[in-house]
Amino acid sequence: MKTKVAIIGAGPAGSSAAIALSKKGIPNILIDKRETVGIPVQCAEFVGLNINSYVDLSNIPSAVNQKIKFMDIDAGKNIYRFDGKGYVLNRAVFDWHLAGEAVKAGSKLLTSARVYKINRQKNSIEVLNAKEKILYEIYYDYLIAATGPKNGFVSPKNSAYIYAVQIKADLLKKLDSVICYFRAYIPYGYGWVFPKGEFANVGIGIEKPASDMPLSLSFDKFLSEIRNAGLIGSEIIEKTSGLVPVSGLNEIIDGNIALCGDAAGLTHPVTGAGILSAVISGGMAGDYAAESIEASHNLFEDYKEELKSVFKKPLFNAAKKRSELYPLMKDASGIEENIKRLWPSFDEYYK
Ligand SMILES: Cc1cc2nc3c(=O)[nH]c(=O)nc-3n(C[C@H](O)[C@H](O)[C@H](O)COP(=O)(O)OP(=O)(O)OC[C@H]3O[C@@H](n4cnc5c(N)ncnc54)[C@H](O)[C@@H]3O)c2cc1C
C-alpha cells in the first residue's frame, strides 16, 4: 500500500493531522491499533473553553459531559477557587468525531491495525491487522507519529511519566468545578475529582520513579478521603489507567517523521493537560506535511520551529517547576508553602 502521509494514532493529535491533510486534498492513511477510536477512554476529560477555537464543540452532539465554571485547588488547609471555564468532555465521542471528520474529508482510517516497525530507509511502516491477522507494509513520503504517551518505537522518546489511575464513580453532590487535591500521600502528583453530571472521574497521578509510593496505596487513601467527605459513592463503575509524559518537549522531528501530541511530549508537566496541545500540534503537523508535499521539499524543520515557538517556553518552565517544587511538597507544610508557585492558576507561578 502507498500513501503520501501515514499517520500513526487516531487520538486527537493524529485525527487533527488527518483532517488538515485531507482538507488540502493530500492522500493520507490514519492508523490505530484500537478496534474503536476513542475507546477505552484513558483521560479525566477536562478542557478549557479555548478548545472551541480549534474544534467547535457545539457541532458535536454528546461531546460534552458537563460544563465547568471553576477550578478548585484543595491544598489541605486551604482551598483556592479560580475561574476555570471549560468542559468535561466525553472523550470517546470527541475522539470518534475527529476521526470521522478526517474520513469525511478523505482520509483512509485503519483500525485494529498496530504499527510495529518503522523502516526508515524504505520509508515504510509494518502494520499488523489484529482482527484479520494480516501483515502489510505501507509506503509513505512523510510519517506523522501521533502515538500518544508511550512512543517507544518512535524516536525521540519521552523520558519521564506520571502513572495515573482513575475510576468513574457516582457523584453525590452537584459540582460546577473541577477539583485538584494536593496531599502528602500523593507525592510528585495530585488527585482529582472532575464532575460529569451524575458521575465523576476520580483519579490520581504520581511521577515514577521520583516517588516510590505505591500507586494503589495512594489511590485507596484518596478514595477513602473523597468517599468520607460524602462526594462520591462507593461503587466503581469503570476503572482506567494511563501514562502522562512530563519530561517536556521532545526533539519533535526526525527526517521525514514528525511527532505531535503526547508523542512529542506536549502534555503540561505540572497539570498533565494535553488534549488541546494534541489538537493544535496535530493540525500543525498535518499542515506542514501538506505544504512539504506541495513544495516537493521537506518543511518539517519549520514545523519544529513553529511548535517550539508556541510550546517550548511554557513547557520548559513547567518542567522546571515540577522538578524543583514537587520534591518540596512531600509533607503537608511543604504543600501550603509551595502550591502557589507550582500551579499555573496562581499569579505567583509566573513570578
Ligand atoms: C488518566 C489521565 C487523565 C488525563 N486527563 C486529562 C485532562 O483532564 N485534560 C487534558 O487535557 N489531558 C488529560 N490527559 C492527557 C490527554 O489524555 C492526552 O494528552 C491526549 O490524549 C493526547 O492525545 P494524543 O492524540 O497525542 O494521544 P492519544 O490520545 O494517546 O492517542 C494515541 C493513539 O495512538 C494509538 N497508537 C499508539 N501506538 C500505536 C501503534 N503502534 N499502532 C497503531 N496505533 C497506535 C493509540 O491506540 C491511541 O489511539 C490525561 C491523561 C491520562 C492518562
Q: Which domains does the chain have, with CATH numbers?
A: 5-42+90-157+247-319 (3.50.50.60)
Band the pLDDT of 150: cuts 50, 70, 90. confident
**What pLDDT, on the 0 to 100 scale, is given for residue 63?**
96
Give per-residue burial for 88-111: e unless 16+ CB within 10 Å, then b.
Answer: bbbbbbbbbbbbbbbbebbbbbbb
Instruction: Identify the sign of the CA torsion 335, 77, 218, 263.
Output: negative
Give per-residue burial for 179-194: e unless 16+ CB within 10 Å, then b.
Answer: bbbbbebbbbbbbbbb
- Cα separations in angstroms, 193 against 4, 73, 199, 242: 43, 11, 10, 16
Mean pLDDT of 123-143: 93
What backbone torsions phi and psi does residue 278 show, to the nearest 5 degrees?
-65, -45
Atom of ligand 1 nearest to the CA of 263: 26
Question: Considering the chain, what is the average pLDDT of its residues?
Answer: 95
Query: Closest Cα to atom 50, ligand 1: which residue?
Result: 43
Please, are residues 192 and 204 in contact by the beta-carbon 8 Å criterion? yes
Atom of ligand 1 nearest to the CA of 281: 26
Tens digits of per-residue pLDDT, 82-132?
A: 999 999 999 999 999 999 999 999 999 999 999 999 999 999 999 999 888
Tens digits of per-residue pLDDT, 44-77?
A: 999 999 999 999 999 899 999 999 999 999 999 9
Query: Closest Cα to atom 27, ligand 1: which residue?
Result: 148
pTM of the prediction? 0.97
Mean pLDDT of 205-223: 92
| Grid cell of 31 as nine digits | 492508523
Cα of 36 vs centre of ligand 1, distance in Å, is 14
Residue from 30, 43, 196, 238 to probe ligand 1 pocket by mutation (most atoms less than 8 Å from CB): 43
pLDDT at 155 over 80: no
**Checking DSSP bridges between strand 257-259 and strand 142-145, what pairing results, if any?**
parallel
Please, are residues 182 and 73 in contact by the beta-carbon 8 Å criterion? yes
Distance CA 303, CA 137 (A): 27
Contacts of 180 (CB under 8 A, 6+ apart): 71, 72, 73, 74, 190, 191, 192, 343
**What pLDDT, on the 0 to 100 scale, is given for residue 97?**
97
Q: Which residue is associated with the grid cell 509533607?
A: 331
Residue from 19, 31, 32 to probe ligand 1 pocket by mutation (most atoms less than 8 Å from CB): 32
| Grid cell of 155 as nine digits | 524516536
Query: Closest Cα to atom 41, ligand 1: which residue?
Result: 115
Look at residues 200, 241, 237 and name the one whose alpha carbon lies nearest to residue 219.
Answer: 241
**What pLDDT, on the 0 to 100 scale, is given for residue 256?**
97
Query: Closest Cα to atom 4, ligand 1: which residue?
Result: 43
Q: For the CA atoms of 227, 232, 238, 243, what is the dihedral angle to 10 degrees?
A: -70
**What pLDDT, on the 0 to 100 scale, is given for residue 213?**
85
**What pLDDT, on the 0 to 100 scale, is given for residue 330?**
87
Measured from CB, residues less than 6 Å from any atom of ligand 1 are: 8-14, 31-34, 42-47, 114-115, 146-148, 164, 166, 203, 242-244, 261-263, 267, 272-275, 278
Cα of 274 vs centre of ligand 1, distance in Å, is 8
pLDDT at 153 over 80: no
Quote the percentage of the chain above a pLDDT of 70: 100
Band the pLDDT of 156: cuts 50, 70, 90. confident
**What pLDDT, on the 0 to 100 scale, is given for residue 212?**
84
How buried is 169 (Cβ within 10 angstroms: 0-12 exposed, 13-18 middle, 19+ buried)?
Answer: buried
pLDDT at 19 over 80: yes
Please, are residues 232 and 172 in contact by the beta-carbon 8 Å criterion? yes
Atom of ligand 1 nearest to the CA of 34: 47
Query: Closest Cα to atom 53, ligand 1: which residue?
Result: 242
**What pLDDT, on the 0 to 100 scale, is given for residue 130?**
82
